[in-house]
Structure 1
Amino acid sequence: MAHSHHDHAGHSHEGHSHSAKGIPKQRLLQALGISLIITVAQIIGGVISGSLALMSDALHTATDAVALLASFIAVKLGERPGSEKHTFGLKRAEIVAAAMNAGVLIGISLWLLYEATLRFIHPDSVKAGWMIGVAAIGLTANVINALLLQKGAKDNINMRSAYLHVLSDAVVSVGVILGGIAIMYLGKGFTWIDPMLTVLISLWLIKESWSIVEESIRIIMMGTPPGIEVKEVAAALTELKAVRGVHHLHIWSLNDQTIHFEAHIDIDDRLVSECSCVADEIEDLLHDKYEITHVTLQFESGRCEDEALIRSHDTL
């Protein structure tokens, strides 16, 4: 049995934390404070103006605060080392937080679609001046938050879900401002613009959030990472001179940064000490070609009767 984090050749890729290093935790707290202040302002402005779009903006900002708090807690949990109770540590806390944040966005978007439908049926007056003014304040705050969280959002699903929250609010604020301007200059007959903007924004949020939910579910369910074909990996390994066959193969993600690999490797009978060179060669190939950093290999020589690449009833 060979096990590696791929550090034998001077590499040290295991244990990277894009969330902790790419996004300083204090930035999450700063964004949280801004979101709480703006939420109160938007709720007051929404009540005074009667704007559903502005109230939706306030609700989104409120969920931003919850999402940012959840992301911060998840980062802290993810930094904890492995223990006897959690041998992998709590690295998947960020995946759970991402799924929760995206799920909340989808839920709120569906509720706003319902409210927008009611507003279409029973139109209400909107005070465009208040609508524009408060939305402009919200836009400023959301742009600041987006800039705070932008770094690392591409490489970390937890940060991406938090970033999507504040980015979506910025988009909502732009929509509210444009809607307020239209109502101000076109008249009360165009108040339908307010719920229409809510519908468009909600549909966009559902689309963006669902991609995060899908990725989170794939990781939690230990699905094969995108861009990696199991048969292709097995074929590449069997091209190595020392490898006669590969079976009982598993590839999964611990989180969105660490890919794990384990398999039975059939080789010619040899001393255990002579397997190290084979292990190094396999680990180099998996790292360089597929960015797999955590490798567990079980070397054997004609031991398994079932040499299926993937066992249909296998357990880890």
Structure 2
Amino acid sequence: MDLVDPIVTILVSLYILWETWPVLKESINILMQAAPNLDFEAMKRDMLKESGVVNVHHIHAWQIDENRIMFSAHINLNDQLLSDVEPVYRDLENLLQKKYHVDHVTLQAEVFRGKSNELFTRDRHDI
């Protein structure tokens, strides 16, 4: 009978840990600004469908709370006036917000720089 109390206590503790793990994991990911679960290749394909977009690279995405995702990327565009880039920005922001539920989008337009870069930039130590 002396072992029943500690065994029940351990079982209850394990149950509580099991039930709280998803919330704890999500909290840690938010605090560490972990990358959200997004299909980055699909995002790139969709962004490349926008008129004038030649390449998408150097992306960053992070989750700042349970509902909001921040996203930044460099986009290569055809050489054009800056005033002609604004509609492209708007269209890409709308696409990312509606289809991928990204709340804050920051895009950097480029013409030549990074044109052949991959979606993710790797540190030289990773190669």
Q: Report the TM-score when normalising by structure 2.
A: 0.85
CA contact (8 A) 2:51 2:88 kept: no
Q: Could you tell me which of 243, 251, 274 is aligned with 2:84?
A: 274
Q: Could you tell me which of 39, 45, 49 is aligned with 1:229?
A: 39
Larger C-alpha radius of gyration, 1 or 2? 1
CA contact (8 A) 2:61 2:71 kept: yes
Instruction: Name the CA distance, whole Å, in 2 between partners of 1:300 and 1:231.
Output: 20
Instruction: Name the CA distance, whole Å, in 2 between partners of 1:239 and 1:302.
Output: 19
Task: Report the aligned-residue RMSD.
Answer: 1.9
- Percent identity, aligned pairs only, is 34
Listed as ranges, the gaps of 5+ residues in structure 1 are: 1-118, 121-191
Instruction: Name the CA distance, whole Å, in 1 between partners of 2:7 and 2:59.
Output: 50
When residues 296 and 255 of structure 1 are mapped into structure 2, their CA distance, relative to the original with a 3 A threshold, is: same
Runs of 4+ in structure 1 off by over 6 angstroms are: none
Listed as ranges, the gaps of 5+ residues in structure 2 are: none
**Length, aligned pairs only:** 123
TM-aligned CA deviation for residue 306 of structure 1: 5.7
Instruction: Name the CA distance, whole Å, in 2 between partners of 1:247 and 1:296.
Output: 13
* Structure that is richer in strand per residue: 2
Instruction: Name the CA distance, whole Å, in 2 between partners of 1:278 and 1:201.
Output: 55
Superposition pairs for residues 96-135 of structure 1, below 5 Å? 119-120=2-3
When residues 304 and 229 of structure 1 are mapped into structure 2, their CA distance, relative to the original with a 3 A threshold, is: same
Instruction: Name the CA distance, whole Å, in 1 between partners of 2:20 and 2:122.
Output: 32
TM-aligned CA deviation for residue 260 of structure 1: 0.4
Instruction: Name the CA distance, whole Å, in 2 between partners of 1:282 and 1:268.
Output: 15
* Structure that is richer in helix per residue: 1
